Amino acid sequence: MLTRIDHVGIACRDLAAAIARYTSTFGLTVTSIEVNEPQGVREAMLEVSGSPAGTSYVQLLEPLRPDTPVGRFLARRGEGVHHVGYGVADITTALAAIGATGVRLIDERPRHGSMGASIAFLHPADLGGVLTELVQARPTAG
């Protein structure tokens, strides 16, 4: 069902400083920077590697305001790993199959994620404390 680790989401207070850390330490390059207003974040995707299963990213997340999920996370836990995103081929099918196992779905239906992907979050309380995201990448053009 899961095709790869799509990205690791990391909460940060200062997106520019976090980007500088990842580019200078690991030589990563920024693929996209976007604001996701419904999720209350400004985020950057930095490409880690390409493989036949697809590209993996580090996703750096800076809250737009304190009263957002990532803003509350930073207040409670400080900077660090926020969630893990796994690639799936068909997010609707994956959500139905995972929901049938009893894991609670934060998103019953997919919503818009980074770079045109369809995403959905699964409840961390049912997954050992790990906020988990499913990612169906935007179909490639052509």
Q: Which residue is nearest to Co ion (CB)?
A: 9
Alpha helices in the chain (DSSP H): 15-26, 69-77, 91-100
* Cβ nearer to Co ion, comparing 44 with 100: 44
Distances (CA, A) of 36 to 4, 33, 44: 23, 10, 11
113 contacts 119 by C-beta, under 8 angstroms: yes
CB of residue 74 to Co ion, shortest distance in Å: 16
* Cβ nearer to Co ion, comparing 129 with 142: 129
Sites of contact with Co ion (CB under 5 A): 9, 59, 85, 133
CB of residue 125 to Co ion, shortest distance in Å: 18
110 contacts 60 by C-beta, under 8 angstroms: no
* Cβ nearer to Co ion, comparing 89 with 115: 115
C-alpha span between 117 and 76 (Å, rounded): 28
CB of residue 142 to Co ion, shortest distance in Å: 26
C-alpha span between 50 and 57 (Å, rounded): 9
* Cβ nearer to Co ion, comparing 9 with 63: 9
CB of residue 86 to Co ion, shortest distance in Å: 10
